[in-house]
Structure 1
Amino acid sequence: MSGSAEDRAAYDAGPVAALRRIAFLLERAREDTYKVKAFRNAAATLLPMSDDDVAAAVDSGSITDLPGIGASTARVIADAVAGVVPDRLATLEREHGGPLTPGGHDLRAALRGDLHSHSDWSDGGSPIEEMAFTAIELGHDYLVLTDHSPRLTVAHGLSAERLSRQLDVVDAVNQHLAGAGFTLLKGIEVDILDDGGLDQTDELLARLDVRVASVHSKLKMDAAAMTRRMVGAIANPRMNVLGHCTGRLVTGNRGTRPGSQFDAKAVFEACVEHDVAVEINARPERRDPPTKLLELARDTGCLFSIDSDAHAPGQLDFLVYGCERAEAAGIDADRIVNTWPKERLLTWANG
């Protein structure tokens, strides 16, 4: 520790809040999930304990005997119990707690929610309820849970049976959060199949509130075939949002990847015809669509959805990256469907 407790700022939010905030900031900084889980696991261990029991465990030196609590998380807990800002938290606030972008903040303030997020039911790193709690803390009115569909086995895509069970869990979360002014909406990121079909039964798609459809396979498909594939999916009346349309990666620990080739004008014209929004994927490693395609979609008359594509709670804060791009492109806020109130969004998505 750097200095005595008396030398450091007072802290009264408690150890669970400190652990969750550290995890949030690590995720916001795009750190690997394994570096984050220790803090979220420690918070989960303390959550059912009383303040007195936590303090007693710290005083007796037995805090590390509790499941999921090691030396680094124990130091955070001890500082928070002592009423001082933990060193790890202070460092992360200094390095990663400020604004992510210089621009986009006015539009970010206009967003009411996020239509693309993942939990640990597929390839996300946190439980559904933790994603919902963080969305509330960020001021969202709604968050759409969009775990992957069955074909994406590498991301633990949800079978029809698992998706049905997840819908019951979402109902339970909403019941628990009743009165919070927030709704967790039922959704999916459904794979666009090679022939333009959607990778889930129509019966289940009909039970959802919002559906994002994305290409995840055969990204190097011939441009004409890829255009037919995407236009076919867009014509499906269950589809609402075209997710990360080129599939490109421009940075990050997964490396880089060029975008798919397709007739963008034809695809965006189909989006206008079928009232499908084009996603502005806010993940820094995607920046999808590229600027020229974003401007083409704007000029074609498309609706948009600015989405975090969050795979961890801290990544829900990525929305501002997409907002900065949308502001730079001069896209009017009313053309962005997640600036709309929940009732208007659901009427559009299921009209």
Structure 2
Amino acid sequence: MVALLDPLEAPVHPIEALRRVAFLLERTRAGTYRVEAFRNAVKTLKTLDAGELAERAEEGTLQEIPGIGKSTSGVIAQALAGDLPTYLAALEAKAGGPLVEGGEALYAALKGDCHLHSDWSDGGSPIDEMVLTGLELGHEWLVLTDHSPQLRVASGLSAERLTQQIGIVEAIDRSLGGAFRLLKGIEVDILDDGGLDQSDAMLARLDLVTASVHSKLRMNAGPMTKRMVTAVSNPRVNVLGHCTGRLVEGSRGTRPQSDFDARAVFEACAEHGTAVEINSRPERRDPPDDLLLLALEIGCLFAIDSDAHAPGQLDMKAYGCERAERLGVPAERIVTTWDADRLLTWANP
């Protein structure tokens, strides 16, 4: 069952204090520079032995360590002293509660996430940190879906890099002993003709495929409809990601939704068992309410996903749950409420 993290209490290890600060900053979309200060401090502390760290704190020389600044040194020193760092306590009080009112029952029913990124593409954290945070939040499974090769701006994975990542994901999954499943996936680009930006042989090695349009978003409605229908009809595709491509707020500005025949696309999704993603990122909120209701009427399955690019953003599914519950999407039609075995049976019939 996915749930809010309980606030940390003293005593707390400095690394855990820094991780929690970064998590809280990420879930509230704080600036990247602030988040990186705490994530980088975690990496630095993992290279130091406890004796050196305690000695530095006692001498007041923590900030002489590369990667440790004023804010991070304060958190470390207070944690080492056995206190709850004031920076962390203030952030917990401000940003530790629910992200949105509504959707709580559906949020609690979630078991996984079909769309998230690591630092292998354009995410900010390594795979193991995404997994650890997923475990802490109560997930039973996650699908790692880094980008495909065409999206060079996001360091999309070539077949060679994806092969390497598959090996790492399988090793992590084995190490977890079945208590949690890390599944092999991709967010594959939908090409102009509806083809997919990765070979069929590579896609066949994955547990789940989310397919999204990232290029030529202003394509005319006719070709765009054909492009999307072709993609969602492909037996390798399990989830249609952020279907309209719109942006409604945020640092990247706004972007209108793509033009396409939504009924034709959603009917193809329903026919082929492809889930329509309810993308939970506040800047996307995709699909918009009217299209989500249309997909519901047509009989589509759904995936409430975070599209997380950082561990704290896994919590953003709360926004998608609020929308889904408000619009009457039943939990049994949301694949992210299913256990891993049911998900895998559906994704690979």
Fold match, TM over 0.5? yes
SS in 2 for 1:140: coil
Aligned length: 342
Identity over aligned pairs, percent: 64
Letter in 2 for 1:185: L
CA distance in 2, matches of 1:58, 1:87: 16
SS in 1 for 2:230: helix
Letter in 1 for 2:115: H
> After superposition, what is the alpha-carbon deviation per residue over 1:97-124, rounded to whole angstroms, capped at 9, x for unaligned?
1111111110011110000000111111
Tell me the CA shift for residue 14 of structure 1: 1.4
Letter in 1 for 2:165: Q
Q: Partner residue of 1:79?
A: 78
Q: Partner residue of 2:21?
A: 22
1:33-112 equivalences under 5 Å are 33-47=32-46, 49-112=48-111
CA distance in 1, matches of 2:35, 2:327: 35
Unaligned runs of 5+ in 1: 1-8
Tell me the CA shift for residue 10 of structure 1: 6.5
Moved over 3 A (4+): 48-53
Say whether residues 1:118 and 2:126 are aligned partners.
no
CA distance in 2, matches of 1:93, 1:114: 24
CA distance in 1, matches of 2:188, 2:329: 26
Range with bigger deviation, 45-54 or 90-99: 45-54
CA distance in 2, matches of 1:96, 1:129: 24
CA distance in 1, matches of 2:11, 2:280: 33
1:146-185 equivalences under 5 Å are 146-178=145-177, 181-185=179-183
Tell me the CA shift for residue 297 of structure 1: 0.2
CA distance in 2, matches of 1:328, 1:263: 25
Say whether residues 1:12 and 2:11 are aligned partners.
yes
Say whether residues 1:309 and 2:277 are aligned partners.
no
> After superposition, what is the alpha-carbon deviation per residue over 1:106-165, rounded to whole angstroms, capped at 9, x for unaligned?
001111000000011111111111111100011000011000000011111111111111
User: Are the aligned partners of 2:120 and 2:146 in contact in 1 as well (CA < 8 Å)?
Assistant: yes
> After superposition, what is the alpha-carbon deviation per residue over 1:38-93, rounded to whole angstroms, capped at 9, x for unaligned?
11111122235454442222112332333321222111100111122212112211
SS in 2 for 1:113: coil
Give the one of 272, 295, 315 matched to 2:293: 295
Evaluate the alpha carbon distance shift between residue 178 and residue 52 of structure 1 in structure 2; reply closer, same or farther with a 3 A threshold. farther
Letter in 2 for 1:312: A
CA distance in 2, matches of 1:17, 1:231: 46
Evaluate the alpha carbon distance shift between residue 62 and residue 178 of structure 1 in structure 2; reply closer, same or farther with a 3 A threshold. farther
CA distance in 2, matches of 1:258, 1:59: 55
SS in 2 for 1:246: coil
Tell me the CA shift for residue 34 of structure 1: 2.0
CA RMSD, Structure 1 to Structure 2 (Å): 1.3
User: Are the aligned partners of 2:12 and 2:84 in contact in 1 as well (CA < 8 Å)?
Assistant: no
Letter in 1 for 2:259: Q
Tell me the CA shift for residue 176 of structure 1: 3.4
Tell me the CA shift for residue 347 of structure 1: 0.6
CA distance in 2, matches of 1:254, 1:25: 21
> After superposition, what is the alpha-carbon deviation per residue over 1:179-199, rounded to whole angstroms, capped at 9, x for unaligned?
6x1111110000000000000
Q: Partner residue of 1:6?
A: none
CA distance in 2, matches of 1:115, 1:189: 9
Evaluate the alpha carbon distance shift between residue 236 and residue 102 of structure 1 in structure 2; reply closer, same or farther with a 3 A threshold. same
Letter in 2 for 1:193: L
SS in 1 for 2:143: strand
Give me the TM-score of the superposition, normalised by structure 1: 0.95
Q: Partner residue of 1:137?
A: 136
Letter in 2 for 1:184: L
Give the one of 245, 253, 266 matched to 1:255: 253
SS in 1 for 2:304: strand
SS in 1 for 2:209: strand
> After superposition, what is the alpha-carbon deviation per residue over 1:280-305, rounded to whole angstroms, capped at 9, x for unaligned?
00000100000000000000000000
Q: Partner residue of 1:319?
A: 317
Say whether residues 1:192 and 2:190 are aligned partners.
yes
SS in 2 for 1:132: helix
Letter in 2 for 1:268: F
SS in 2 for 1:114: coil
Letter in 2 for 1:178: G
CA distance in 2, matches of 1:298, 1:305: 12
> After superposition, what is the alpha-carbon deviation per residue over 1:225-258, rounded to whole angstroms, capped at 9, x for unaligned?
1000000001111000000000000011110000
Q: Partner residue of 2:222?
A: 224
Unaligned runs of 5+ in 2: 1-7
User: Are the aligned partners of 1:220 and 1:260 in contact in 2 as well (CA < 8 Å)?
Assistant: yes
Evaluate the alpha carbon distance shift between residue 223 and residue 199 of structure 1 in structure 2; reply closer, same or farther with a 3 A threshold. same
> After superposition, what is the alpha-carbon deviation per residue over 1:272-330, rounded to whole angstroms, capped at 9, x for unaligned?
11000000000001000000000000000000000000000000000110001000111
Range with bigger deviation, 316-325 or 79-88: 79-88
User: Are the aligned partners of 1:10 and 1:83 in contact in 2 as well (CA < 8 Å)?
Assistant: no
Q: Partner residue of 2:4?
A: none
Letter in 2 for 1:214: S
Letter in 1 for 2:275: A
CA distance in 2, matches of 1:34, 1:129: 21
